[in-house]
């Protein structure tokens, strides 16, 4: 073995997606990969204490040891809580009646 692993770090914004490929020593962690790839310099708003990390779509901690060909994903905070959005839709559905035309308020 060479003692090296190849990984990718990805970060997506609404208008662009970034992919950083790098080679690290075996035993490197997800947090180290993010720090070494340069994304933090390019996007200083990323805070590893706030932004969650994942490996291939599954949440991972910064101290997770990486394997060859892992893809580390940096997640942005949600703008709206999905549970709250669903609750509001359900509330709106109770006050609106759907029929064969325009919706009318129930009495």
* Distance between CA atoms of residues 55 and 6, nearest Å: 14
pTM, rounded to two decimals? 0.69
Q: Is 84 exposed, middle or buried (0-12, 13-18, 19+ CB in 10 A)?
A: exposed
Return the HEC string of 57-94.
CEEECCCCECCCCCEEEECCCCCCCHHHHHHHHHHHHH
pLDDT digit string (tens) for 23-38?
Answer: 999 999 999 999 999 8
Question: At 49, is the pLDDT very low, low, confident or very high (cuts 50, 70, 90)?
Answer: confident
SS3 state at 95: helix
- Any idea which of 15-19, 29-33, 36-40, 99-103 has the lowest mean pLDDT? 99-103
The CATH number, out of the four listed (3.90.1420.10, 2.40.40.20, 3.30.1600.10, 3.10.20.30), of the domain defined by the range 4-74: 3.10.20.30
Question: Domain map of the chain by residue range?
Answer: 4-74
């Amino acid at each position: 073995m060479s003692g090296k692993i190849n990984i990718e770090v990805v970060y997506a914004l609404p208008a662009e997606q970034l992919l950083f490929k790098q080679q690290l020593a075996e035993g490197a962690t997800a947090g180290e990969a993010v720090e070494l790839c340069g994304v933090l310099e390019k996007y200083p708003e990323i805070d590893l204490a706030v932004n969650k990390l994942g490996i291939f779509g599954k949440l991972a901690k910064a101290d997770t040891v990486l394997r060859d060909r892992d893809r580390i994903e940096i997640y942005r905070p949600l703008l709206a809580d999905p549970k709250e959005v669903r609750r509001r839709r359900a509330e709106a559905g109770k006050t609106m009646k759907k029929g064969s035309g325009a919706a009318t308020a129930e009495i």
